[in-house]
């Protein structure tokens, strides 16, 4: 008698285990794929933030340099103006020393004229 042994149908518990294993592998694969995608997105965002930070720092440095230049120019103009004012004051003092009577007469005339203007 020749009996051929047929494979019995798989046991239901084995089928459940196989399907659970396939679901586990699919889930692991999906998680790994999602992690890779998130890592790439995070890298892209990080690169963008670095570029933006660098641009902001460059702009801040340029603004600081420009402010320093303007401040220096302001100091120079102030110093020049003070030097001129000191020179004019010294000239006025010399004129008063050389011509005291004329200086008093000019001062009285200027005072009288200023008084007339301010009364109106």
CA atoms within 13 A on the CB side of 38: 6
Q: How far apart are CA 106 and CA 110, in angstroms?
A: 6
Q: How far apart are CA 94 and CA 3, in angstroms?
A: 141
Once rounded to an integer, what is the mean pLDDT over residues 5-22?
Answer: 72
Task: State percent of the chain over pLDDT 90.
Answer: 69
Per-residue confidence (pLDDT) for residue 14, from 0 to 100: 82
Per-residue confidence (pLDDT) for residue 9, from 0 to 100: 59
Q: Longest Cα pair distance anywhere in the chain, in angstroms?
A: 157
Query: What residue ranges do the domains of the chain occupy?
Result: 12-119
Contact assessment for residue 110 and residue 102, using Cβ atoms and an 8 Å cutoff: no
Interval 53-94: pLDDT, tens: 999 999 999 999 999 999 999 999 999 999 999 999 999 999
Contact assessment for residue 72 and residue 65, using Cβ atoms and an 8 Å cutoff: no
């Amino acid at each position: 008698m020749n009996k051929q042994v047929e494979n019995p149908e798989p046991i239901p518990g084995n089928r459940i285990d196989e399907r659970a294993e396939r679901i586990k592998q699919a889930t692991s694969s999906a998680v790994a794929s999602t992690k890779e995608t998130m890592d790439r997105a995070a890298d892209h965002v990080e690169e963008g933030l670095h570029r933006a930070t660098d641009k902001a720092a460059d702009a801040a440095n340029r603004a600081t340099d420009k402010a320093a230049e303007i401040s220096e120019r302001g100091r120079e103009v102030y110093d020049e103006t003070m030097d001129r004012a000191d020179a004019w004051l010294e000239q006025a003092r010399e004129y008063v020393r050389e011509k005291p009577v004329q200086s008093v007469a000019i001062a009285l005339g200027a005072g009288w004229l200023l008084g007339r203007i301010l009364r109106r």
